[in-house]
């Protein structure tokens, strides 16, 4: 990953604020969570930025 990509993906603004309230992202998060079976007790949130699935 080059410096530009690293700075982009590590920017707080990318992982907070509007990202959590954006309708498109909310839909994506809800649909992803919906397809996880109820009996699942652990989930590896790998390569997904700030772990949004873990915190939502």
What are the pLDDT digits (tens) for 2-56? 888 888 777 777 767 666 778 888 898 889 889 999 999 988 777 656 666 666 5
- What's the pLDDT at 56? 56
**Tally of domains within the chain:** 1
The pTM of this model reads: 0.50
**Taking Cα atoms as reference points, which of 27, 29, 21 lies closest to residue 52?**
29
The gap between the terminal CA atoms of the chain, to the nearest Å, is 27
Q: Which domain holds residue 9?
A: 3-55
CA distances from 30 to 2, 36, 39, 50 (A): 32, 10, 17, 16
* Cβ atoms within 10 Å, residue 20: 14
- Write down the H helix ranges in 16-55: 18-21, 23-34, 52-55
């Amino acid at each position: 990953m080059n410096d530009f990509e690293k700075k982009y993906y590590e920017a707080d603004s990318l992982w907070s604020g509007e990202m959590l309230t954006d309708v498109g992202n909310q839909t994506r998060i809800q649909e992803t969570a919906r397809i996880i079976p109820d009996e699942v007790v652990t989930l590896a949130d790998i390569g997904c930025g700030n772990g949004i699935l873990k915190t939502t």
